[in-house]
Amino acid sequence: MNALINDIAVIKTKHSKINHVDFDSLKFGSVFSDHMLECDYKDGKWQAPKVVPYGPVTLDPSAKIFHYGQSVFEGMKAYKDTNDTIWLFRPLDNFKRLNISSKRLAIPELPEHVFMNGLKTLLQVDKNWIPKKEGSSLYIRPFVFASGNGFHASPANAYKFIIATAPSGSYFSGEVSVLIEQTYSRSANGGVGFAKAGGNYAGQFYPTQLAVEKGFQQVIWTDDNTHEYIEEAGAMNIFVRINDTLITAPTSDRILDGITRKSIIELAESKGIKVEVRKLTVNEVVEASKNGSLKEMFGAGTAAVISPIASFGYKNVKYELPKQNDSYANYLKKLITDIQTNKAEDPFGWRYKVE
């Protein structure tokens, strides 16, 4: 069935998969909704986006994405409240960051209407795929990659923008144990660490595998120059609570400017929690652990929301974090998810109604 919704052509699937999905036991990002948004860049401009059935993409073996990794992505979530209203969280920030990433990878920037109208139309078409169960949401993955052909190591002349969605449960189950990385780096000054470039994640897999072999789930990334400063927690920003102060590293060209991170900073401050955005050394965290002032560490990002860290490894010593009755992680997670899911007032204007 073809239709035009919000000026976007919609080609609906004839074979919905929705009845085969168990919405009560969703994993993260492993089943995909019926449709996706697709938009091509060719002849020097972005063409009209369309909603099409979710399915494989055909590419020439010389497509530059395969050889030179020219690709960027975003991660967002849609929520449905008790009245079946659909909500996004700060979607324009994801749109802007996608273009910041694209610019760094020499990918043509997307017009706002392609991203926003495309996303809203897709969500309306697949609204039945948005889970209502507490802790579940529709994970949204917008991405752009070089579909243009040729072995020449230069930017492609054709790109594809796709938004695919996946009804999802939580990213991690329970608390995680992390290894503070002393050898490998995820990013460097002047590099692409601030961009959500696909290659940044590929580069993390091997060091993370090594950490997993040692019994950890994630790596805490430190600065590439000295490995003395704490920067990110896997694919999340990191917060450390020493006494009653929350500390997080300042963003830089090595660190992703996380939307969850900046929301948590504002939320915590609005509740009277002291937040310091400053460089934080591994030594300071180790010393705080030894003298009992280290109370919590947690990762923050769209997929995991807030992921408490139970222990960290550093130079062959494992440091356990104490259990907190007044955990900032739990408190802030509840505050932010209540705003996201329309269970609480949103004094910041972050929530975005899809209509």
Q: Which residues bind ligand PLP (CB under 6 A)?
A: 75, 196, 232, 235-237, 256, 258-261, 301-302
102 binds, among ligand COI, ligand PLP, none (CB under 5 to 8 A by kind): none
Q: Which of 301, 314, 329, 350 contacts ligand COI by CB under 6 A?
A: 301
Q: For ligand PLP, which is the closer residue by CB, 301 or 313?
A: 301
Closer of 193 and 301 to ligand COI (Cβ): 301
Measure the CA dihedral 5/6/9/11, to 10°.
-30
Query: Does the footprint of ligand COI cover residue 303 (CB under 6 A)?
Result: yes
| Residue 224-243 contact track with ligand COI, rule CB under 6 A, x = bound | -----------x--------
Rounded CA-CA distance 327/73 in Å is 32
Name 112's Cβ contacts closer than 8 Å, sequence gap at least 6.
92, 95
Token code pair at residue 73: 């992505």
CB of 231 to ligand COI, least distance (A): 16
What span, in angstroms and rounded, lies between the C-alpha atoms of 219 and 230? Answer: 11
Identify which of residues 53 and 199 has a Cβ nearer to ligand PLP in the complex: 199
CB 41 within 8 A of CB 161: yes
Taking the complex as a whole, the smallest distance from the CB of residue 315 to ligand COI amounts, in Å, to: 27
The DSSP string of 161-204 is: EEEEEEEE--SS-S-EEEEE-SS--S--TTSSTTS-BHHHHHHH
Minimum distance from residue 199 beta carbon to ligand PLP (Å): 12
Interface pick for ligand COI out of 248, 302, 337, 341 (rule CB under 6 A): 302
Other CB atoms within a 10 A radius of the CB of residue 286 amount to 17
Residue 259 contacts which entry, ligand COI, ligand PLP, none (Cβ below 5-8 A, type-dependent): ligand PLP
User: 261 touches which of ligand COI, ligand PLP, none (CB within 5 to 8 A by kind)?
Assistant: ligand PLP
Amino acid at 57: V
Helical axes 259-270 vs 91-104, angle rounded to 10°: 140
